[in-house]
Structure 1
Amino acid sequence: MKGIGTDEDMILMILTARCNDQRQQIKATYKKAYGKDLEKALKSELGGLFEDLIVALMLPTVQYDAAKLHKALKGAGTDDEVLIEIMASRNNEEIKNICKVYKKEYSNKLEKDICGDTSGHYQKLLVILCQGSREEEVEEDKVEKDAKDLFKAGEGKVGTDEEKFVNILGNRSFEHLRLVMAAYKKISGNELLDIIEGETTGNLENLMLAIVKCAMNLPAYFAEELRATMRRAGTDDDTLMRIMVSRSEVDMQDIKAYFTKKFGQSLYTCIKEDTDGDYCKALCYLCGGQD
């Protein structure tokens, strides 16, 4: 970055090839050596989607999630896709850490901001998830009961007892929910996913479906979300970037494997076809290159 011009290739090769902890060390050492904030320096040197991606990589993971949630909630309107993706997919520890950082950075509780922007059973389910208190263990005696309760709350009655769906999906562990889905199929003959689609609508439906999909197979959920970003008229770069940044050190290899198996094309190839320039190069580095 010194002098006229910028070596974008060097920037992306260094920062995308390092883990987040290493990037935080680089940021601290840079400030100590040159008396400048690396994030601000990068913003002044770069532009467009490439700048957005590189700056996103410089944030600690939990701070990045908190920032995305705050952006989704602030101002007029709510970005429910962001709310649903993050709240449905993060584990207890991640949710608790996000809440701590959110309060520190934005001087307000995440739960309070969620309540200010949402309503009804959708709000209730988000608030339950915001506690970061999913049951950790599978309780065998609850599996059959939960499956029967969900059947009675949906297919087995006129109308839908959404409260029952909210409490079970919001509080049970993913492993427990997988067993509940299998038990439900035996009782009903139908998939729980299909029942949720038939019994609920709107953001509540989308949040419940996301929880069930995450419980079934978390990498598969993100692979399908990534595919959706590149199937529209124009690429949904916000979602593409968010998933690539947040999952690059978590389960990217599993996401890539499922992506290729499900869609018959590698994630790397899709990124190459749908993006360009240094932004494309950086995304390709994050996904670990070709399969």
Structure 2
Amino acid sequence: MADVHNMMAQVCLTGDELCDGATVKPFVDFVVEEDAAALQKALETKGLDEHTIIDILTKRSNAQRQDIAFAFEKKTKRNLEEILDYALSDHLRSVILALMKTPAKYDAGEIKGAVKGLGTNEDTLIEILCSRTNKQIQDMSKAYQELYKKDMIKDIRDDTSQNFRELLTALAQGSRSEPSNVVDNELIDSDARELYAAGEKKAKPDVGKWITIMTKRSIPHLQRVFGRYKSYSSCDMIESIKHGVKADLRTTFLGLVQCIQNKPEFFNDKLCQSTIKRSVLSRIMVSRSEIDLQYIKKEFKKKTGQTLHQYLTVSTKGDYQRVVLALCGGDD
């Protein structure tokens, strides 16, 4: 099942493609002019009609939200994002503005936030760069250049160091092989042997070899490689990384391998962290709602015994709760 989930995530990105794992899908009876007018009325209502704003924007696909923003500006001569930024408060503002950005611009903004200022938010870099497809990374890089007039890869390199930098840089290239119908059993065996030889058979792992294989090969190929790896080692790939790699580099490799093996499980584990930040929760709910949040919900229920809907009902409140529950979909 993990193979199916990951293949769906490869071909089903965002926009109006219909994803089996999506909780937010294109609104069938979409009339952009009506939505633009309803949002204008909600924003001009005394006291602000947050419920209408939330109900419209969480029940439209990202592509439909872009159409709404265009129609709104054409109708009012005002920028919808700027008005929402001014009108909304606190956490509601951040999640609604995230919904209004294209996926590429949203990810670019998250990367920028992770590398600017003092310190680096390694967890954000790892989450985004390990989980996005080639196209998503390439679109994100273009958006980064457009928004900040800087090269995303250079900013990542300047803010990180040593092997951690090399791994993130390789991921940020977005240049791994695309899935193929051809199964190269000889290369699968060769890659598995090379990963084993570069890791467990050395006192100090040959990280460069791991980086090359894990960032250049296609996802289905690597899933087979990791299965083959166990015929050479008494440990699986996850255990080998835990034993042989330290600090941020270990966290990145673990995230990468988990994303390759079962991406919904990777995001579920982040949701299950006892101290999950609201910004991380928002990013997962927004970025995965049109891709594989339905699969993430299944992993969550399997691991915790409760539905994600139940968890969000208890752990969030107010208008923010209304947004994340809408993105979550039903209580299943």
- Mapped partners of 2:184, 2:157: distance in 1: 31
- Equivalent residue runs for 1:236-275 within 5 Å: 236-275=277-316
- Equivalent residue runs for 1:1-291 within 5 Å: 1-136=43-178, 137=180, 138-228=183-273, 231-232=274-275, 235-291=276-332
Q: Which amino acid aligns with 2:207?
A: E
Q: Which amino acid aligns with 2:75?
A: A
Q: Which amino acid aligns with 1:101?
A: A
- Mapped partners of 1:236, 1:39: distance in 2: 24
- Mapped partners of 1:113, 1:67: distance in 2: 13
Q: Which amino acid aligns with 1:8?
A: E
> C-alpha root-mean-square deviation of aligned residues, in Å?
1.2
- 1:218-269 Cα deviation digits (max 9, x unpaired): 11111111122xx22xx51010001111111011111111211222111111
- Mapped partners of 1:139, 1:115: distance in 2: 33
Tell me if the contact between 1:144 and 1:183 (Cα under 8 Å) persists in the aligned partners. Answer: yes
- Mapped partners of 2:330, 2:69: distance in 1: 25
- Mapped partners of 1:66, 1:289: distance in 2: 30
2:14 aligns with none
Q: Which amino acid aligns with 1:25?
A: D
Q: Which amino acid aligns with 1:29?
A: A
- Mapped partners of 1:121, 1:7: distance in 2: 50
- Larger displacement relative to structure 2 (150-159 or 76-85): 150-159
Shift of 1:140: 2.2
- Mapped partners of 1:107, 1:46: distance in 2: 28
Shift of 1:47: 0.4
- Mapped partners of 2:232, 2:219: distance in 1: 20
Tell me if the contact between 1:177 and 1:215 (Cα under 8 Å) persists in the aligned partners. Answer: yes
Tell me if the contact between 1:66 and 1:101 (Cα under 8 Å) persists in the aligned partners. Answer: yes
- Mapped partners of 2:59, 2:186: distance in 1: 47
Q: Greater relative contact order: 1 or 2 (C-alpha under 8 angstroms, separation 6 or more)?
A: 2
Tell me if the contact between 1:174 and 1:214 (Cα under 8 Å) persists in the aligned partners. Answer: no
- Mapped partners of 1:51, 1:288: distance in 2: 20
- Mapped partners of 2:293, 2:255: distance in 1: 18
- Mapped partners of 1:80, 1:171: distance in 2: 22
Unaligned stretches of 5+ in structure 1?
none
Unaligned stretches of 5+ in structure 2?
1-42
- Mapped partners of 2:145, 2:184: distance in 1: 33
Shift of 1:153: 1.4
TM-score, scaled relative to structure 2: 0.84
Report SS of the residue matched to 1:188: coil
Q: Which amino acid aligns with 1:200?
A: V
Report SS of the residue matched to 1:217: helix
Shift of 1:273: 1.1
Q: Which amino acid aligns with 1:132?
A: G
Report SS of the residue matched to 2:177: coil
Q: Which amino acid aligns with 1:153?
A: A
TM-score, scaled relative to structure 1: 0.96
Tell me if the contact between 1:147 and 1:183 (Cα under 8 Å) persists in the aligned partners. Answer: yes
Tell me if the contact between 1:143 and 1:183 (Cα under 8 Å) persists in the aligned partners. Answer: yes
- 1:111-149 Cα deviation digits (max 9, x unpaired): 110110011111111111111110124532111111111
